[in-house]
Structure 1
């Protein structure tokens, strides 16, 4: 990819945007630990990180809005950076949903089947990989990583389709209870929306070359 012409101010903002992605990764990691270790305190820590991300989003949008008023500023680039921040914000909203569902699971002692736990933990880890890759892409503008992210999204869609069929089978056989089913489906759906928002953020950034 050809280098994007960034002045120092925009470069600093771009680094903050990448840092925002790292915070989302941290939030998800805490949520995964809370899910696996059945600890509400970890969910509470993740909630604090979430608030920090939302605060960062407000600051970054304000900064970028101010930059857009400068006469010599690349307004299309600024708009694409604002779009990235917006997608990161929406991804965080989806993780807030994940946190809420994991909190219910832990607080109420809702049990998942071993298969369900393995599937959810796998999606958590794959989403963590997507988040790390997205942060790296924002800083390096690496085409190979973009291709990797696109392929990962397609692969995860196939995996989730297979998981959904297996989940339905468990539900029919009574292995999975309705309460567990609702939590499971909400978590899976929100994690996939997180991955989608990462893909959209990268596509928007790379569309401005």
Structure 2
């Protein structure tokens, strides 16, 4: 397990990120205000968890400056996780508008959004597995999956534009769906960055 001073900083964070995806998906599909509020609460909790982890690393480096390489790598990873949490938490706004205004997505958009939720959850679980095992094949797999997620978001946006032209999508749903795509795409990019940091291809 990737640790700092023997402390596992990452598992609690990933557990909350995974719960955020579940809450967002349930709120989206069920128009559930309860799950929407859970998403908001989890965002606050994971931000606090990451802030505490960053503080722990900073204090550790002050005492053990010779460990700056692992410390700086950990800070880079935590910063990326902070950005992922921001994008997942940012789904609350379009979901809230969807619920409040009773906005319906096309069947295709609903299917694509749920595909992205599934894909995102799988990537997060695999990134945590990388931190536990440092498995090179798993790193390559997650990098490929993150790139696929990013490309899916771009492809879905193009298909959405085509549906709009054909009159198959409601205009009010368009900006909400595009926000979903943008947030998922950006989260996928940060997950790809995490793999590259762990591979030593990116310093953060």
TM-score of the pair, normalised by structure 1: 0.90
Alignment of 1:42-61 (within 5 A): 42-61=35-54
8 Å CA contact 1:133, 1:145 repeated in 2: yes
- Structure 1 residue aligned with 2:6: 11
2:59 to 48, 66, 69: 66
Q: 1:202, CA displacement in angstroms?
A: 2.6
- Structure 2 residue aligned with 1:174: 167
- Structure 2 residue aligned with 1:201: 194
8 Å CA contact 1:24, 1:53 repeated in 2: yes
8 Å CA contact 1:22, 1:131 repeated in 2: no
The alignment covers a number of residue pairs equal to 201
Q: Segments of 4+ in structure 1 off by > 6 A?
A: none
- Unaligned 5+ runs, structure 2: none
Equivalent-residue separation in structure 2 for 1:147 and 1:205 (angstroms): 11
Equivalent-residue separation in structure 1 for 2:64 and 2:6 (angstroms): 18
Q: 1:17, CA displacement in angstroms?
A: 1.5
Q: How much is the aligned-residue C-alpha RMSD, in angstroms? A: 1.8
Equivalent-residue separation in structure 2 for 1:161 and 1:86 (angstroms): 25
Larger RCO: Structure 1 or Structure 2 (Cα < 8 Å, ≥ 6 residues apart)?
Answer: 1
SS in 2 for 1:74: helix
8 Å CA contact 1:149, 1:199 repeated in 2: yes
SS in 1 for 2:63: coil
Q: 1:118, CA displacement in angstroms?
A: 0.3
- Unaligned 5+ runs, structure 1: none
TM-score of the pair, normalised by structure 2: 0.92
Equivalent-residue separation in structure 2 for 1:158 and 1:192 (angstroms): 8
- Structure 1 residue aligned with 2:82: 89
Equivalent-residue separation in structure 1 for 2:192 and 2:54 (angstroms): 20
